[in-house]
Amino acid sequence: MTSEPLPADRRLAAEALAADDPTGWFEPLYVEAAAGTSVVPWDRDEPNPLLADWFAERTGPTGGTALVVGCGYGTDAEHVAAQGFRTTAFDVAATAIREARARFPQSPVTYTVADLLNPPAAWRGAFDLVVESITVQSLPPEVHATAIDGIRAALAPGATLLVVADVSTTAPTAGPPWPLTRAEIDSFADGDITPVRVDLLSRPDIPGLRRWRAEFRRAAA
């Protein structure tokens, strides 16, 4: 009896991790998707519902700068920009960024290639809103802390951070994804960054599973 082949994301992630390159599987996945031989499992036509609902409930100011982490094809970034934020969105996969620009040719979003594990120095303290949705969990647990450091560093004084991630209730298993524990969610708060609220919410796409939606704020200067 033969075993079922691994999904493309797990197959490519295993190859990248064997080469000690935790972000090295994203570009090959998007290249395969562009060729029609694989799919990007997180691609969707609408913004993440937990992001959309958060904006619908939000009463804070708009019109500042925003950073969307691991933007993929750009659906979430477009939603953030539509709320009035001057939005920068990045992905480590150049093919994803090219596709985002092609999908939204009139977009006000600045799409760029960058690595969360080594973000541009110019982004330090530069954004009034940072949105991290299911990107850290796409990386192996041993680099989660580095990724979280990179996200925190982008927050300007008084900025808001929104984190959306699958909930981990067991020991780390073969991924991706590698969902976040409560301790990892809490670690986004550090120094002058404090939690506003941490919610456990159901995943509308997979009944019975849950996601974190956590909001943090950096103290004003």
In this structure, the chain runs to a length of 221
Domains along the sequence of the chain with CATH = 43-218 (3.40.50.150)
- pLDDT at residue 27, as a whole number: 97
Q: Which residues have a Cβ under 8 Å from the Cβ of 70 and sit 6 or more positions away?
A: 90, 91, 92, 116, 132, 133, 134, 135, 138
Share of the chain above pLDDT 90, in %: 84
- pLDDT at residue 2, as a whole number: 45
- Dihedral, 145, 62, 80, 89 alpha carbons, nearest 10: -50
Q: Take residue 213 and report the two structure tokens written for it.
A: 């939606």
What does the mean pLDDT of the chain come to? 92
Q: State the pLDDT confidence band at 155, using cuts at 50, 70 and 90.
A: very high
- For residue 18, is pLDDT > 80? yes
Residue from 131, 132, 125, 185 nearest 155 by CA: 125
Residues 85, 109: Cα–Cα separation, whole Å? 9
Q: State the pLDDT confidence band at 1, using cuts at 50, 70 and 90.
A: very low
Q: State the pLDDT confidence band at 136, using cuts at 50, 70 and 90.
A: very high
Mean pLDDT (whole number) for 167-173: 70
For the segment 98-126, what is each residue's pLDDT rounded down to a tens digit? 999 999 999 999 999 999 999 999 999 99
Amino acid at 83: Q
Q: Take residue 67 and report the two structure tokens written for it.
A: 């950073």
- pLDDT at residue 173, as a whole number: 67
Across 149-179, b (16+ Cβ under 10 Å) vs e yields ebbbebbbeebbbbbbbbbbeeeeeebbbbb
For the segment 56-100, what is each residue's pLDDT rounded down to a tens digit? 998 777 789 999 999 999 999 999 999 999 999 999 999 999 999
- pLDDT at residue 62, as a whole number: 76
Unique residue bearing structure tokens 């960024």: 97
Share of the chain above pLDDT 70, in %: 93
Q: State the pLDDT confidence band at 40, using cuts at 50, 70 and 90.
A: very high
- pLDDT at residue 175, as a whole number: 80
